[in-house]
């Protein structure tokens, strides 16, 4: 049993470490589905009161979706690269199409979780029924008693109605659930079409071949992994040197001693170098040779950020 659990955790860790966009988006959607289910079971409780139902139902769909969207924007590296770009250099070097695509990339990835939340909420129908039950016209219900109005209709989601209105409650619930699920399926279809068109447009506008584009994506992923790993080791060694300088000694474990001996750190990188490799990067070429990242461009000694006469700007970002 312990071995089986360990294998499952290892499998999940491989998924979470993957940089593949489709896997990442799938994990985000799966996590959102689980969160929505938990919210519906634990937190959702329709007030069943006129005027309150509508606000509560819309809030149950919209507020978590907004929160998930903002979290998605915050977690996207492109967001902070854009902030750094605007702070250091502005976006004057980017064409309108590239700027639009940059914002589209940020918004598109951030929209995965809120769209999933909205779709699941609509397919379940509880929030939609709660929000709109009081707006059902009594005249649309066959032989609905004239003595009852919006006050009773607002109580339908809670099933707290007189016995003679049970069949009307079932009809209203069925009608609103149908509308809610219809909107949910339509939203799925619209999103699927938009994703398909976006992928087609991306590959049609790309000046790179499919294989070179795949290589570019692999390079960016490997560069990021190696940069983070090396930065962690560099910062640890530098911290060890500074601590030793202050106390006269530093308490290192065996692995850290080996790192200090193997990788001597003489100093830190100046701020201009950090600024040169930080920010938004859209594919560039210099005299026909590809520059796959800001770090790659800095290593080649290429100055400037705008497209040169010998090069061109690619109209999409690396995955």
Give the pLDDT score at 5: 39
Q: Write out the E strands in the chain.
A: 284-286, 289-291
How many residues appear in the chain? Answer: 319
Among candidate residues 158, 59, 202, the one with its CA nearest the CA of residue 117: 59
Count of alpha carbons within 13 angstroms of residue 46, beta-carbon side = 27
Give the pLDDT score at 233: 94
Give the pLDDT score at 93: 62
Radius of gyration, CA atoms only, the chain: 28
> Residue 122 — pLDDT band, cuts 50, 70, 90?
very high
Stretch 70-86: mean pLDDT: 84
> Residue 9 — pLDDT band, cuts 50, 70, 90?
very low
Stretch 188-205: mean pLDDT: 87
The answer to whether 137 touches 97, Cβ cutoff 8 Å, is: no
Greatest CA separation found in the chain? Answer: 91
- Asked whether the predicted pLDDT for residue 182 surpasses 60, the reply is yes
Give the pLDDT score at 230: 95
> Residue 88 — pLDDT band, cuts 50, 70, 90?
confident
Residue with tokens 């978590």: 64
Ordered alpha helix ranges (H), the chain:
2-17, 21-42, 52-75, 77-88, 96-110, 112-124, 126-132, 150-153, 166-205, 210-247, 254-262, 271-276, 294-299
Give the pLDDT score at 27: 56
CA dihedral 71, 28, 193, 131 (to 10 degrees): -70
User: Lowest-confidence range among 172-186, 204-218, 231-245?
Assistant: 204-218
Average predicted confidence (pLDDT) for the chain = 79
SS3 per-residue string spanning 196-213: HHHHHHHHHHCCCCHHHH
Stretch 157-165: mean pLDDT: 78
CA dihedral 178, 184, 190, 194 (to 10 degrees): -170
Among candidate residues 29, 194, 213, 52, the one with its CA nearest the CA of residue 120: 29
- Asked whether the predicted pLDDT for residue 91 surpasses 90, the reply is no
Percent of the chain scoring above 90 in pLDDT = 30
Percent of the chain scoring above 70 in pLDDT = 78
Give the pLDDT score at 83: 80
CB atoms within 10 A of CB 193: 10
> Residue 8 — pLDDT band, cuts 50, 70, 90?
very low
User: Lowest-confidence range among 102-106, 107-111, 162-166?
Assistant: 162-166
Tell me the sheet residues that pair with 289: 286
Give the pLDDT score at 154: 85
276 or 8, greater pLDDT: 276
> Residue 319 — pLDDT band, cuts 50, 70, 90?
very low
Give the pTM. 0.71
> Residue 192 — pLDDT band, cuts 50, 70, 90?
very high
- Say how far apart CA 88 and CA 162 lie, in whole Å: 67
Q: Which element (helix H / strand E) includes 274?
A: helix 271-276
Give the pLDDT score at 237: 93
> Does residue 146 sit in helix, strand or coil?
coil
Q: Over the stretch 262-308, which tens digit does the pLDDT of each residue have?
A: 998 888 899 889 988 888 787 888 888 899 999 999 999 886 554 44
- Asked whether the predicted pLDDT for residue 171 surpasses 90, the reply is no
- Asked whether the predicted pLDDT for residue 97 surpasses 70, the reply is no
- Say how far apart CA 132 and CA 64 lie, in whole Å: 19
- Asked whether the predicted pLDDT for residue 7 surpasses 50, the reply is no
- Say how far apart CA 36 and CA 33 lie, in whole Å: 5
The answer to whether 281 touches 82, Cβ cutoff 8 Å, is: no
């Amino acid at each position: 049993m312990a071995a089986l659990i360990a294998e499952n955790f290892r499998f999940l860790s491989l998924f979470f470490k993957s940089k593949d966009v489709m896997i990442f988006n799938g994990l985000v959607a799966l996590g959102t589905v689980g969160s929505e289910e938990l919210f519906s079971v634990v937190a959702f409780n329709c007030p069943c009161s006129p005027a309150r139902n509508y606000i509560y139902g819309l809030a149950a769909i919209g507020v978590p979706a907004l929160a998930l969207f903002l979290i998605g924007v915050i977690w996207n590296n492109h967001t902070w690269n854009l902030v750094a770009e605007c702070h250091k250099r502005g976006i004057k070097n980017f064409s309108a199409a590239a700027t639009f695509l940059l914002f589209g990339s940020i918004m598109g990835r951030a929209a995965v979780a809120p769209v999933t939340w909205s779709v699941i909420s609509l397919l379940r129908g509880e929030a939609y029924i709660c929000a709109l039950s009081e707006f059902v016209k009594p005249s649309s219900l066959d032989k609905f008693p004239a003595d009852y109005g919006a006050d009773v209709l607002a109580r339908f989601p809670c099933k707290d109605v007189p016995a003679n209105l049970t069949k009307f409650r079932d009809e209203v619930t069925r009608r609103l659930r149908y509308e809610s699920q219809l909107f949910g399926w339509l939203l799925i279809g619209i999103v699927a079409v938009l994703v398909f068109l976006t992928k087609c447009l991306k590959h049609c506008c790309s000046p790179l071949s499919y294989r070179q584009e795949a290589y570019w994506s692999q390079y960016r992923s490997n560069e990021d992994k190696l940069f983070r790993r090396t930065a962690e080791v560099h910062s640890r060694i530098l911290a060890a040197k500074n601590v030793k300088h202050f106390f006269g000694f530093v308490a290192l474990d065996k692995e850290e001693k080996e790192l200090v001996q193997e990788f001597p750190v003489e100093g830190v990188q100046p701020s201009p170098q950090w600024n040169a490799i930080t920010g938004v990067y859209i594919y560039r070429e210099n005299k026909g040779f590809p520059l796959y990242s800001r770090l790659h461009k800095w290593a080649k000694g290429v100055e400037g950020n705008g497209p040169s006469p010998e090069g061109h700007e690619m109209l999409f970002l690396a995955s």
